[in-house]
Copies of this chain bind each other. A is one copy, B any other.
C-alpha cells in the first residue's frame, strides 16, 4: 500500500509534540503517557531520532529530550529517514541489482525520478507545518513531454 511504518507514524507524533513546545524538554514517560504509545516503543524511537541528530538529550533526573533544531528546520523526510532509512521507492535505486533486462533499466531510471519526487514532497513539509491545524496544501505537479 506504499505506506509508512507504524513506528514512523508514532515518530512523527512524537516530533510534532516536541515541536509544539520547542523550549521544553520531555521525558520518554511523559510523551508515552500523553500520546498513549507504549513506553518501551517511545524510548526506542527517541533513541533512533537522537542518533539521527534530530533530538538532543539530557541524562539524569529531570532530563529528557527536545528538538535539536527549530520546528521549521526539521522536515518530515528527515523523520521518515531516521526511522525507515533513506527514502527510495525501488530496491535497485541504491543496490546493484542484476538488471539483465533490455529495456528494464529505463523503467528503473524513471522510478528513481518518481522516488525523488516523493522525497521532495516529504522534504517540503516541516514539523512546524505538521503542528499547524491544517496544511495549506501539498501540491504535486508532474512535467513530462507534452504533445502540443
Contacts and interface: CB of A to CB of B under 8 A. Distances in A.
Contacts of A84: 1-2
A7 to B, nearest CB: 11
Interface in A1-53: 1-4, 6, 9, 12-13, 16-17, 20, 34-36
Interface residues of A, number: 63
Interface in A99-148: 100-104, 106-107, 109-111, 113-114, 116-118, 120-122, 124-125, 129-145
A121 B124 contact: no
Nearest to A136: B144
Q: How many copies does the complex hold?
A: 2
Contacts of A120: 140, 142
Nearest to A17: B103
A76 interface: yes
A146 to B, nearest CB: 9
Interface of A: 1-4, 6, 9, 12-13, 16-17, 20, 34-36, 76, 80, 84-92, 98, 100-104, 106-107, 109-111, 113-114, 116-118, 120-122, 124-125, 129-145
